[in-house]
Amino acid sequence: MSAVIDRPAQGARPLAGARTLFYKEVLRFWKVAFQTVAAPVLTAVLYLLIFGHVLEDHVKVYGHIAYTSFLIPGLVMMSVLQNAFANTSSSLIQSKITGNLVFLLVTPLSPLAWYVAYVGASMVRGLAVGLGVLVATLWFGMPAFAQPGWIVVFALLGAGLMGSLGLIAGLWAEKFDQMAMFQNFIVMPMTFLAGVFYSVHSLPAFWQAVSQLNPFFYMVDGFRHGFFGISDVSPWFSLGVVALSFVVVAGVTLRLLQTGYKLRH
Q: Is the pLDDT of residue 237 over 50?
A: yes
Closest CA to 194 of 222, 167, 235, 230: 222
Residues 6+ apart with CB under 8 A from 157: 219, 239, 242, 243, 246
Phi, psi of 167 (to 5 degrees): -65, -40
For 262: left if phi > 0, alpha if psi spans -120 to 50, otherwise beta; the answer is: left
Q: Are 221 and 231 in contact (CB under 8 A)?
A: yes
d(CA 114, CA 119): 8
d(CA 164, CA 257): 11
d(CA 220, CA 199): 10
d(CA 163, CA 169): 10
What local confidence, expressed as pLDDT, does residue 58 receive?
Answer: 62
Q: Write down the mean pLDDT value for the chain.
A: 88
> Pick the residue with more confidence: 99 or 119?
119
Q: Which of the four pLDDT bands, split at 50, 70 and 90, describes residue 105?
A: confident
**Average pLDDT of the segment spanning 75-83:** 96
What local confidence, expressed as pLDDT, does residue 224 receive?
Answer: 93
Q: What is the pLDDT of residues 130-145, one digit of tens each?
A: 999 999 998 887 777 8
Domain boundaries, the chain: 18-197+205-259
Q: Are 7 and 259 in contact (CB under 8 A)?
A: no
Q: Which of the four pLDDT bands, split at 50, 70 and 90, describes residue 98?
A: confident
